[in-house]
Structure 1
Amino acid sequence: MEIRPERPEEYAMVERIHERAFGGAQEARVVALVRQSPEYIHELSLVAVVEGRPIGHILFSYVGLQDTQGVMRKVVVLAPLAVQPEFQNLGAGKRLVEEGLARLDAMGAPLVVVRGHAHYYPRFGFVPSVQMDIRPPFDIAPEEYMAKRLSGYTLQYKGIVRYPVAFAEVGYPVEFGL
């Protein structure tokens, strides 16, 4: 299995992976919209490839983190992550997360936030974001919204996460744009 940045000719395949994994088009639409936005980080839209075809995809992109004084800092969100159903539980998701986090750390990113399963993401060092004084802009169980400190982290990174327009597709409030 190879992990690498997705290629433009794979965009439709990647969107189908999300549609199949999530049972709908919302997450695929988020991916397509993020690709067209200033929040897109090409080298962090990664695919897991088996026999020359993408079977999994992870997207890391920029979001805002607004502190109590109104200062907005740029951080990264992991969203979405999908693996074709017939390839799930074989390590592709794990490899995608690990490679993405390693690349972000090498770039000096401060932290990554994720909305996800409390039993999956802690294995990668994610903790409930409230432990770092980071909150989502919507109601969710604290254990389902997590953050991970990276090499660029300092204590100034706290506040409310603000999402760009692409995430309106999944019902998130839109409060950030580069």
Structure 2
Amino acid sequence: MNIKIMQEKSSDPTIVFELIRLAFENEQFSDHQEHILVEKLRKTAEFIPQLSMVAEVEGEIAGYILLTKIQIIDKENQKAFDSLALAPVAVLPQFQGKGIGGKLILGAHQIAIELGFGSVVVLGHADYYPKFGYVPASVYGIKFPFDVPDENCMIKELTDNSLKGIQGTVHYPEEFGVIS
């Protein structure tokens, strides 16, 4: 199977909207609003077009990933650090389990590094994201602004020591609907 990872084209959003909806339709741990979230995030200053990526299989869009700019706020030391949030990664049901999500994640990581970002946070499955180097954010003294099990609140250093000396709470854009 030939999988091609690339930046989303201006003609892709309608296809991506439906792809995300279908990918999360039967997901147990979902509010089933991921497609709406992406539409909202596209209109924000935190949206980075290069990190809105699709996976094509034989010319068909089969997967999507979005990394959005966020901040880690250290209120105690009055500092803010730029990071990225992975939300969502989505693969059409008929293409799931074929490594497409993993290729999207690795491709997005590479572009994020090229753009100068040092870390990515994700709220996700504790048995999936560690395959890509994600660890509980608490390892670095980083908290998420909601009550979710620690093993689901993860972070990845994209470059060595990019999280050195960084601690605080993840602050999402308001479109995520999270109050931090």
Compute the TM-score of the two structures, normalised by the length of structure 2: 0.90
Write out per-residue CA displacement over residues 121-160 of structure 1, whole angstroms, 9 at most, x where no aligned residue: 0011100000011110001111001001122714232110
* Structural mapping, 1:145-164, within 5 Å: 145-151=153-159, 153-164=162-173
Deviation, 1:25, is 5.1
Counterpart AA for 2:167: K
Counterpart AA for 1:16: E
* Structural mapping, 1:2-151, within 5 Å: 2-23=4-25, 26-67=33-74, 68-151=76-159
Deviation, 1:57, is 0.3
* Structure 2 Cα separation of the partners of residues 59 and 150 of structure 1: 16
Counterpart AA for 1:162: H
Q: Percent identity?
A: 35
* Structure 2 Cα separation of the partners of residues 45 and 157 of structure 1: 26
* Structure 2 Cα separation of the partners of residues 159 and 63 of structure 1: 13
Q: How many residues align?
A: 171
The answer (yes or no) to whether the contact 1:30–1:166 under 8 Å persists in 2 is yes
* Structure 2 Cα separation of the partners of residues 66 and 12 of structure 1: 34
SS in 2 for 1:113: strand
Compute the TM-score of the two structures, normalised by the length of structure 1: 0.91
* Structure 2 Cα separation of the partners of residues 146 and 128 of structure 1: 4
The runs of at least 4 aligned residues of structure 1 exceeding 6 Å deviation read none
> Unaligned stretches of 5+ in structure 2?
26-30
Counterpart AA for 1:157: I
Write out per-residue CA displacement over residues 8-38 of structure 1, whole angstroms, 9 at most, x where no aligned residue: 2110110111111111751011111111110
Counterpart AA for 2:6: R
> Unaligned stretches of 5+ in structure 1?
none
Root-mean-square deviation (CA), in Å? 1.4
The answer (yes or no) to whether the contact 1:137–1:160 under 8 Å persists in 2 is yes
